[in-house]
Structure 1
Amino acid sequence: MKEKVIFIGASGFVGTRLIETAIADFDIKNVDKQTSHFYPELTAIGDVRDPDTLDSLFESCSTVVLLAAEHRDDVSPTSLYYDVNVQGTRNVLAAMDKHNINNIIFTSSVAVYGLNKTNPDETHPVDPFNHYGKSKWQAEEVLREWYGRSPETRSLTIVRPTVIFGERNRGNVYNLLKQISSGRFAMVGAGNNYKSMAYVGNIVAFIKFKLQNVMPGYQVYNYVDKPDLNMNQLVAEVEQSLNKKIPSVHLPYPVGMIGGMCFDVLSKLTGKKYAVSAVRVKKFCATTQFDATKVHQSGFVAPYSLSEGLDRTLQYEFVAVKKDDITFVSE
């Protein structure tokens, strides 16, 4: 008999790939406020903000994987970050306690470290700069408090991924790859800033690895596919994958920020959301490089290199003929 696990928030981008990766080895139930496009038969409708729906779904489960989160840059009102990411975590843990479930894997974020830090590892001081990062850190604190009440029997794994990309995702990396591949791309700054990234096929493989190796204790891991690329190297990867020359245009950082602020004003005036904003320009030009030594010394072997993940994504999105138009929106 397969071990029964509950994935919370697995109708989205990462969760869909996690189900695909783990379904052969586990008896999976997906709890989400939206039905899964690909696994509706495994999905029960539930919301982490509603404790009653959680209580009714957690019976006979051994491990919970908590993926659900408010994560976009433009969530309004900002209280939603805390209602979902923090109070939602409390509600999940309360339901787990009622059903004597002692194992949880939680997807946090490298956003807890803040911007422009020097290759932080898991022991680096936190300094989140936005509500998403702050709410994820608060959720981690809630989880550590829960673990600390019974460390002999409980298992807590916190995974802090960097930005995740892959097939079907519609987030910042996809938007960047689309702009680069179109040839209408303007680099803001010199392009020497490094970007840690994670291919979705690897992050879900790591979560499955932790599901297969549950033991009492507390562990936290940064997840990054190494080696990191700077922006100029990323452009070169796109050129190689698509076999095309990408024109190189560089804009000074102040010009890029002014452009982002103009889009912010336009967004407020029109009520529309745009792909360009001051926050996104700031994030684009920042060095977001993180130490992932711990995860790659844990016994886990990533099934794809970063270059392979980029190539698979680029070929799927911009070369292959698609069978459907199902996509997932994220950052």
Structure 2
Amino acid sequence: MGSMAKDWTVQLSAVNFRCDVCKHAWEDEPDLIEEAPELAHHPYRYFGNCPACQAEHQPQAAWARALMKAHQNSTGPKTAEGLAKVGRNLEGHPNAEAVQRTRFNAMKHGMAAKTATYFPARPDKYSFCGACEVNRTWCGQQAACVKQTEIFMLHHAAFESRNPRVLAGIHADLQAGLTAMLQMLMQQVLGDGVVITQPRVELDREGNSQTLSYLAEDGIRKYIYDRQAHPALKAITDFVSRLGLSMGDLGMTVRAADPDEADAGGVLKLDAKTQETLSDFNTRMLGVMGGARDMLAAAQKATREDPVLVEHQAREGKS
């Protein structure tokens, strides 16, 4: 027989809360309960005082309310016959899918242990924590950062299966980030100018910094400036070359766009009759080289049968 269905109209004694102020999550008895008959899944609202920042009347965690709704909407066998059929479904386990799931879980725990060496769980301590949607309380209870564990798992799966396509998503995000950095560098250079002008400063005998200046003929003091290229220009050129964004890499040069251009050097000016493909040329050369042996043999035979040579060899006593 199936178990008795839970009565979802009864007030809960322990509720999961999440503070909207400090994002702290905890489970405790509610400090305030409001009736909400308009809610179909559970006719009560729960509020609690945050133990971390002392904020009052923080609401029940959204995922907890969604879980109650999911439990009530869940379907499954309720009769003895249905429960018995579900039990028979477990025969033959573990199957291939269950084995893969077990291997995935083992890899996940192993990767968490390895990731903890580099990225132990430290909520809001890393630079990338600001945009992370993981609950901070739950994150602090883990051995390692769950986001970095995912990256470790993908790389290990790619190397074990020798399938670089597994890393396509990570590489796409990385390429997009590098391109965004390149655009920001260019915007900064365009805003500052390609040449940076700074007053020349040197130290005097007492070690004090002095701005170099001189008195012009008109009696006005003028300062000496140093001009140098913007330091971000080198980073831009490195990004362009490493990302393959130069004109040659993109095929946007004049020679690449119009190979028949008269001024384009390095291009043979051949008409349609004299043009020859590389494969045809190789075929013709193989035929020529194949007949070279026969040509040499015929030449040697003609030399031996030459009457002048035969008479000369007879006179000299050579056979």
TM-score range, shorter chain: under 0.3
Where is the helix percentage greater, Structure 1 or Structure 2? 2
Relative to total residues, which structure has the larger strand share, 1 or 2? 1
TM-score under structure 1 length normalisation: 0.18
> Which structure has the higher relative contact order (CA within 8 Å, separation 6+)?
1
Q: Which has the larger radius of gyration?
A: 2
- For normalisation by structure 2, the TM-score amounts to 0.18
